[in-house]
Amino acid sequence: MSAEPQVVADLVAGSATAVCRVEEIPPGEGRAFAVAGEQVAVFRLRTGVLRAVSAVCPHRGGPIADGQTDAQVVVCPLHAHVFDLATGACRTGQPPLRTFPVAEADGWVLVGGG
Ligand code: FES
């Protein structure tokens, strides 16, 4: 299932959160938000795709939202471990990041599954 149907399902269930306007996240960057008690890093990729993963690096708690991205991965700014933004899987041997459904609706960024 892609992220969008899941976030719509969460919206229907009342468990999706509007975290910001899309334009508040510059293309290629991420921002951290609290969603249902979880710290979630939301990225707006240069392709326009939105991705949401845990904001806390499983290595030593680095701020994932501040990491550099390309179309597929984010690099933690502390020790440069590399995580797949679609699956959360680490490509450099650490535990995965949790992923969250995310979608845009009427210019808002919605995050589900907190
Ligand atoms: S805290 Fe993220 S790579 Fe070390």
4-13 pLDDT per residue, tens: 666 666 665 6
State whether residue 43 is helix, strand or coil: strand
For residue 92, report the distance from its CA to the centre of ligand 1, in Å: 11
Domain count within the chain: 1
pTM: 0.89
Domain range for 16 is 3-111
Q: Which residue owns the Cα nearest ligand 1 atom 3?
A: 79
pLDDT tens for 39-70 read: 999 999 999 999 999 999 999 999 999 999 99
Q: Are 65 and 39 in contact (CB under 8 A)?
A: no
Residues with CB under 6 A from ligand 1: 57, 59-62, 76, 78-79, 81
